[in-house]
């Protein structure tokens, strides 16, 4: 591997890993030929290392992703006829509030800093009212609001992720995690708004991996019940 290639592959790993292993890993890579499959494997291990580190240091992301994933699953399970169920409404409100709390360091709002909002009760009420209003608009107002809002949120998170540098406080991995959660909500938004032809698209179906698995299990169960 050329020194440039070795440097590139090493940079895929997180900064803390590089601080310890970069020199010897680069020397090692430069001393041998690396196939495309091996390079892919290195990228996979680097991603695993980054994920391990992130999940240890940035725990707030976990409940956020979980809330969005669970809410998407519940939405899908309830189906379109039950899409306006009150329980679902609260689930999405929780998802949006958690999203605001988590993305606050990523997408810096000019005046609304979630930490200062939490410290001041008046601002907390105002902030909660603001977010619940947003949720209400998204769920019950214009039919295009949910898909547009999710697309805008998603794009802003990706833009932020691309703009981040490894040395900055907000890492691209964190943004990537948030982006994946946003992707889930995008899929849900389209499903909710009845754009079924788009929901059937294979790329969008990737946003529902858990749901796809659950669907397969329930189909298998039905088949077993029928055969009995």
The stretch among 22-30, 60-68, 114-122, 204-212 that binds other proteins (CB under 8 A) is: 22-30
Nearer residue to other proteins within complex by CB, 3 or 209: 3
Tell me: does residue 21 bind other proteins (CB under 8 A): yes
Q: Considering Cα of 168, then 171, then 175, then 178, what sign does the dihedral take?
A: negative
Nearer residue to other proteins within complex by CB, 18 or 174: 18
Q: Report the greatest alpha carbon distance in the chain.
A: 64
Q: How many residues make contact with other proteins (CB under 8 A)?
A: 20
Nearer residue to other proteins within complex by CB, 45 or 144: 45
The stretch among 32-40, 78-86, 128-136, 160-168 that binds other proteins (CB under 8 A) is: 32-40
Tell me: does residue 17 bind other proteins (CB under 8 A): yes
Work out how close the CB of 8 gets to other proteins at its nearest, in angstroms, rounded to a whole number: 13
Tell me: does residue 28 bind other proteins (CB under 8 A): yes
First-to-final CA distance of the chain: 59
- The DSSP code for 105 is T
In whole angstroms, give the CA distance from residue 213 to residue 209.
6
Residue 164 has phi, psi (to 5 degrees) of -70, 145
Tell which residue, 170, 179, 185, has the closest CA to residue 95.
185
Give the tokens for residue 153.
Answer: 């949120």
Tell me: does residue 55 bind other proteins (CB under 8 A): no
Q: Which residue has the tokens 């977010």?
A: 131
Tell me: does residue 50 bind other proteins (CB under 8 A): no
Tell me: does residue 42 bind other proteins (CB under 8 A): yes
- The DSSP code for 34 is -
Q: Which residue has the tokens 């591997």?
A: 1
Work out how close the CB of 27 gets to other proteins at its nearest, in angstroms, rounded to a whole number: 6
One of 31, 197, 227, 228 touching other proteins (CB under 8 A): 31
Residues that bind other proteins (CB under 8 A): 17, 21, 24-25, 27-29, 31-32, 34, 37-38, 41-46, 48-49
């Amino acid at each position: 591997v050329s020194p440039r290639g070795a440097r590139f592959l090493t940079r895929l790993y997180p900064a803390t890993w590089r601080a310890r292993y970069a020199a010897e890993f680069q020397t090692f890579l430069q001393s041998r030929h690396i196939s495309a499959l091996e390079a892919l494997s290195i990228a996979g291990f680097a991603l695993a290392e980054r994920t391990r580190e992130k999940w240890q240091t940035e725990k707030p992301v976990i409940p956020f992703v979980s809330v969005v994933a669970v809410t998407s699953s519940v939405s899908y399970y309830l189906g379109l006829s039950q899409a306006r169920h009150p329980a679902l409404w609260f689930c999405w409100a929780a998802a949006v509030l958690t999203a605001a709390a988590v993305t606050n360091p990523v997408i810096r709002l000019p005046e609304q800093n979630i930490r200062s909002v939490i410290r001041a009760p008046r601002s907390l009420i105002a902030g909660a009212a603001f977010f619940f209003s947003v949720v209400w608009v998204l769920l019950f107002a214009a039919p295009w609001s949910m898909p547009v809002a999710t697309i805008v949120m998603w794009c802003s998170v990706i833009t932020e992720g691309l703009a981040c540098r490894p040395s900055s406080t907000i890492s691209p991995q964190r943004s990537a995690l948030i982006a994946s959660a946003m992707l889930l909500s995008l899929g849900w938004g389209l499903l909710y708004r009845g754009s079924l032809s788009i929901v059937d698209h294979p790329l969008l179906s990737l946003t529902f991996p858990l749901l796809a698995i659950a669907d397969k299990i329930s189909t298998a169960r039905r088949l077993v019940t029928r055969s009995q």
